[in-house]
């Protein structure tokens, strides 16, 4: 197996202080939440709450709970620091982690006041799955179940039966892990909703095992509680998820499907204002999606990035070849100005994407898909009118270079499609020469140094684009002319 080395963002002392401070803030929020739970369990009677704390062993239990919360926060920090340090670096991601936990635990506690087994145990796991990843979802689910167990154990003024105390651990953990695997890669919101019924089945089975005697007397409340838990988990997840997508600018598969719909506002504007660029983006998306699948990247995200990589051309569509019909305005302006117009489409794309409140990753790819490559055509034109050597940087894109594999794929596919279309070459060998030339040129300009793209992946991308592009720009069959009744048809 090929070993991949990821470049981690360097941390300074300030970064450690900042991240640890945010963890401390949320730990305090949880501790205050514990006190609020205790107050609610005492039926909002401060004297009852005080008597409970002062009773035998309860002060020690409360201290134990606070210390345990600190240790849990430390465990979360160490997990993310070692597993996904770059994710932890962003303050908004720290807030995302804890807000998911805080909301999930608060809702489980609230529902549990009426029926413990109706709690939406899978809510935390599903939110973490869709906003982060599967491994993190399992970890977060473990934490949420453990937190709920501690609340039930240490903060119940009226002592719960022992088997109910373990409900959050046994029922919550097992059913939530199942929910993760059921919902993972399910692209339709309707299908996710239906998964609520499947999630309910192991919940009901677990409940029957824990409450066998009570179930035999009256099974209906427990069956309803199981279905309530499963359905409540998916319904609340679908209700809360859009808020997280907007507030934290996160990309989920559901949102990717929405923004890659051709009726999406910015895509519709691109189709109407710059139809040539729109068609170019569609072809590039086909190439990019195939490459992403070949090297194990997110295909939906790759397609979205390809759709939006050239939206900056909306600023001046007539200055780009695919939108021209005979007249080229560059022939009437100096090459220096042409260079400024052409390279500005990268930063203009970033501007449009942010203006339409689309995910940051799309803006990143838009501004990175040309990296720091020179615009050689206008450099050569300017050289003809200059007696001294010109600075190539004045005729180059401003960058940055691709920071992700998807940005690198878009860079390669974008240039290959444009050159194949311009040269009119269609057979496999000629297309392969074009793709090799594009890749070698970008490697010579060190464009892939910051995106962790391996040589093996570059070779896979080359083969994939060659096969896909030769299929897109294939030779058409020349149909013979047919004469019927004096009319000529082709």
The residue that leads in pLDDT, 350 or 387, is 350
Q: Which two tokens stand for residue 142?
A: 């473990």
Other CB atoms within a 10 A radius of the CB of residue 210 amount to 19
Nearest CA-CA partner of 232 in 200, 273, 191: 200
Average pLDDT over residues 437-454: 94
Q: Which residues contact 128 (CB under 8 A, 6 or more apart)?
A: 100, 136, 137, 139, 140, 141
Which whole number is the average pLDDT over 309-334?
Answer: 91
Residues 6+ apart with CB under 8 A from 412: 291, 435, 438, 439, 442, 461, 465
For residue 156, count CB atoms less than 10 angstroms from its CB and return exposed for 0-12, middle for 13-18, buried for 19 or more: middle
Look at residue 484 and tell me whether its pLDDT is greater than 60: no
Residue 354 banded pLDDT, cuts 50, 70, 90: very high
Highest mean pLDDT among 190-194, 209-213, 219-223, 233-237: 233-237
More confident residue, 55 or 136: 136
Q: What is the pLDDT of residue 1?
A: 33
Residue-wise pLDDT for 20-31, tens only, equals 999 999 999 999
Measure Cα distances from 202 to 13, 143, 354, 432 in Å.
47, 20, 44, 53
Residue 42: pLDDT above 90?
Answer: no
pLDDT value at 367 more than 60: yes
Hey, what domains does the chain have and what are their CATH numbers?
13-250 (no CATH), 254-472 (1.10.3210)
pLDDT exceeds cutoff 50 at 290: yes
Q: Among 183-187, 255-259, 299-303, 435-439, whose mean pLDDT is lowest?
A: 183-187
Cα Rg of the chain (Å, integer): 29
Spatial separation of the C-alpha atoms in residues 395 and 414, rounded to whole Å? 19
pLDDT(194) > 90 = no
Residue 485 above 70 pLDDT?
no
Q: What is the pTM of this model?
A: 0.79
Contacts of 246 (CB under 8 A, 6+ apart): 357
Q: Per-residue pLDDT tens for 202-218? A: 888 877 777 777 778 88
Q: Are 186 and 192 in contact (CB under 8 A)?
A: yes
Question: Can you give the pLDDT at residue 2?
Answer: 38
* CA gap 194, 431 in Å, rounded: 46
CB 291 within 8 A of CB 460: yes
Contact 207, 153 (CB under 8 A): no
């Amino acid at each position: 197996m090929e070993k991949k080395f990821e470049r981690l963002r360097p941390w300074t002392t300030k970064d450690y202080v900042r991240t640890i401070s945010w963890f401390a803030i949320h730990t305090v929020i949880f501790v205050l939440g514990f006190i609020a739970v205790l107050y609610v369990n005492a039926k909002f009677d401060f004297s009852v709450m005080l008597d409970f704390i002062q009773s035998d062993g309860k002060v020690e239990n409360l201290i134990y709970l606070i210390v345990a919360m600190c240790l849990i926060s430390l465990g979360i920090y160490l997990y993310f620091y070692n597993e996904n340090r770059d994710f932890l670096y962003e303050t908004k991601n720290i807030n995302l982690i804890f807000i998911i936990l805080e909301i999930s635990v608060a809702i489980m506690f609230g529902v549990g006041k009426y029926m413990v087994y109706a709690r939406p145990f899978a809510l935390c796991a599903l939110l973490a799955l869709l906003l982060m990843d599967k491994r993190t979802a399992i970890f977060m689910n473990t934490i949420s179940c453990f937190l709920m167990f501690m609340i039930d154990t240490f903060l119940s003024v009226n002592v719960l039966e022992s088997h109910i105390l373990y409900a959050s651990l046994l029922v919550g953990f097992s059913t939530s892990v199942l929910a993760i695997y059921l919902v993972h890669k399910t692209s339709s919101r309707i299908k996710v909703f239906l998964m609520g019924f499947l999630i309910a089945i192991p919940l009901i089975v677990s409940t029957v095992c824990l409450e066998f005697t009570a179930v035999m007397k009256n099974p209906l409340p427990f069956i309803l509680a199981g279905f309530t838990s499963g359905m409540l988990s998916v319904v609340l997840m679908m209700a809360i998820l859009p808020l997280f997508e907007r507030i934290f600018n996160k990309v989920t598969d559901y949102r990717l499907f929405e923004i890659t719909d051709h009726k999406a506002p910015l895509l519709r504007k691109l189709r109407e204002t710059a139809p040539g660029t729109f068609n170019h983006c569609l072809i590039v998306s086909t190439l990019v999606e195939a490459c992403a699948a070949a090297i194990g990247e997110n295909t939906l995200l790759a397609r979205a990035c390809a759709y939006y990589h050239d939206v900056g051309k909306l600023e001046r569509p007539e200055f780009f070849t695919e939108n021209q019909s005979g007249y080229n305005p560059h022939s009437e302006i100096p090459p220096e100005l042409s260079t400024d117009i052409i390279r500005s489409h990268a930063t203009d794309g970033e501007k449009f994407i942010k203006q339409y409140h689309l995910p940051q990753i799309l803006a990143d790819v838009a501004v990175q898909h040309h990296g720091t490559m020179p615009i050689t055509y206008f450099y050569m034109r300017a050289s003809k009118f200059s007696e001294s050597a010109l600075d190539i940087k004045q005729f180059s894109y401003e960058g940055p270079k691709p920071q992700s594999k998807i940005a690198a794929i878009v860079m390669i596919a974008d240039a290959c499609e444009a050159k194949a279309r311009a040269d009119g070459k269609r057979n496999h060998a000629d297309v392969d020469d074009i793709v090799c030339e594009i890749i070698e040129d970008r490697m010579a300009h060190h464009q892939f140094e910051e995106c962790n793209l391996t040589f093996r992946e570059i070779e896979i991308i080359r083969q994939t684009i060659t096969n896909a592009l030769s299929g897109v720009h294939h030779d058409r069959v020349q149909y013979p002319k047919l004469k019927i009744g004096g009319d000529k048809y082709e």
